[in-house]
């Protein structure tokens, strides 16, 4: 049975899908912990919808959809920060930018013939069709993201747990917030290839939420989040092939199964409720 499961990875498309999925799970696992602790999970969902506008523009103009999606998502993330700093819309800034990206994407798609297979693949994920050039791009951006997180780990840590203290200490809070948003936007677009626009925020937040229930400290939580994401991707790919099901949906369902399992293991008296501040699940800093 094990040989049968492993035999599917003899095919090139499965190898590419596995490598891309594991790399993306690593980025989402690390960045997702900060996203959940900072209570910015809705930002991921907004950026995913904004990036769809970039995909639509790229396809309509005959450009590279992924690169255009990254550009539009980054610009959308910066736009969200600008609106929030002006205190004009508050949390509505997410809805405003999200609506602009998604609405623009829908209009562009309708003008060039409506939904097609390529557009649907971005909506629901296309991990089984990634190319080696896609894998190379994902690996390069992973390395850049991990490098930034490693260099600015202490700054992001302070900004996450004590934002007021970060301001008082003289940290460039605005620049750090913008940089974090840019990293999230890039990660969202890359993860979109695995699970699609509609489910991408789940891949970013759910493994991190599951890892937080284990109470193993911040670094331990990051490692656990990466492990949960990678395991969900690998198992999801196998199940998707044998069940003839959508890979993106299968991966997300396994992430949710890991979250529910971690909640049961933690117990009602000990686990952190999802409505409470998740930083309480981090024992050491």
Give the CATH number, domain containing residue 183.
1.10.3470.10
Residue 129 has pLDDT above 70, yes or no: yes
- The domain total for the chain is 1
Average pLDDT over residues 220-249: 89
The residue segments making up the domain with residue 117 are 19-281
Is 2 within a domain?
no
For the chain, what percent of residues have pLDDT higher than 70?
Answer: 86
Least confident of 14-28, 159-173, 248-262: 159-173
Where is pLDDT greater, at 5 or 226? 226
Check residue 88 and give its pLDDT.
Answer: 59
Q: Is the pLDDT of residue 56 over 60?
A: yes
In the structure, what pLDDT confidence band is assigned to residue 264 with cuts at 50, 70 and 90? confident
Q: Please report, for residues 71, 141, 149, 197, the alpha-carbon distance to residue 67 in angstroms, rounded to integers and kept in the order given.
A: 6, 12, 22, 15
Please tell me the distance from the alpha carbon of residue 89 to that of residue 86, in angstroms, as a whole number: 8
Say which range, 139-143, 159-163, 278-282, has the weakest mean pLDDT.
278-282
Domain assignment present for 231: yes
Q: Is residue 184 part of a domain?
A: yes
Per-residue pLDDT band at 224 (split at 50, 70, 90): very high
Q: Give a yes or no: residue 12 inside a domain.
A: no
For the cut 80, the answer to whether the pLDDT of residue 250 exceeds it is yes
- Residue 93 pLDDT > 90, yes or no? no
**Ranges assigned E (strand) in the chain:** none
Residue 211 lies in a domain: yes
Report yes or no on 202 lying in a domain: yes
Q: Residue 51: pLDDT above 50? A: yes
d(CA 248, CA 260): 19
Arithmetic mean of pLDDT over the chain: 81
282 phi and psi angles, rounded to 5 deg: -100, 115
The pLDDT value given to residue 269? 43
Q: How many CB atoms lie within 10 A of CB 217?
A: 15
Which pLDDT score is estimated for 58?
84
Q: Per the structure block, which two tokens stand in for 25?
A: 């799970």
List alpha helices for the chain, DSSP H: 2-7, 12-37, 41-61, 65-86, 92-111, 117-124, 132-151, 153-161, 163-168, 173-195, 200-212, 217-243, 247-266
- Position 223 scores a pLDDT of 93
Decide if 5 is inside a domain: no
Model pLDDT for residues 187-211, shown as the tens digit of each residue: 888 888 778 877 888 888 999 999 9
Residue 228 has pLDDT above 50, yes or no: yes
The Cα–Cα gap between 102 and 269 comes to 41
pLDDT tier, 106 (very low <50, low <70, confident <90, very high otherwise): confident
The mean pLDDT of 157-178, rounded to a whole number, is 82
| pLDDT recorded at residue 117 | 63
Q: Considering the domain boundaries, does residue 6 fall inside one?
A: no
pLDDT at 246 over 80: yes
């Amino acid at each position: 049975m094990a040989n049968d499961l492993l035999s599917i990875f003899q095919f090139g498309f499965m190898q590419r899908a596995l490598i891309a999925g594991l790399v993306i799970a690593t980025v989402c696992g690390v960045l997702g912990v900060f996203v959940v602790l900072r209570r910015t999970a809705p930002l991921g969902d907004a950026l995913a919808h904004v990036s769809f506008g970039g995909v639509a523009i790229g396809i309509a103009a005959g450009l590279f959809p992924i690169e255009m999606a990254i550009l539009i998502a980054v610009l959308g993330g910066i736009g969200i920060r600008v609106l929030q700093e002006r205190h004009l819309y508050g949390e509505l800034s997410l809805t405003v930018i999200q609506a602009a990206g998604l609405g623009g994407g829908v209009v562009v798609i309708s003008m060039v013939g409506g939904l097609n297979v390529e557009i649907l693949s971005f909506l629901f994920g296309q991990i089984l069709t990634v190319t080696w050039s896609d894998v190379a791009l994902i690996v390069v951006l992973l390395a850049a993201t991990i490098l930034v997180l490693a260099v600015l780990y202490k700054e992001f840590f302070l900004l996450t747990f004590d934002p007021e203290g970060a301001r008082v200490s003289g940290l460039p809070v605005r620049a750090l917030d913008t940089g974090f948003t840019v990293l999230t936007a890039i990660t969202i677009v890359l993860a979109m290839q695995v699970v699609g626009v509609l489910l991408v925020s789940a891949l970013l937040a759910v493994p991190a939420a599951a890892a937080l229930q284990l109470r193993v400290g911040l670094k331990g939580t990051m490692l656990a989040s990466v492990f949960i994401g990678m395991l969900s991707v690998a198992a999801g790919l196998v199940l998707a092939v044998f069940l003839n099901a959508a890979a993106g949906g299968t991966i997300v369902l396994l992430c949710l199964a890991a979250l529910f399992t971690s909640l049961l293991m933690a117990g009602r008296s000990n686990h952190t409720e999802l409505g409470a501040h998740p930083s309480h699940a981090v024992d050491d800093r």
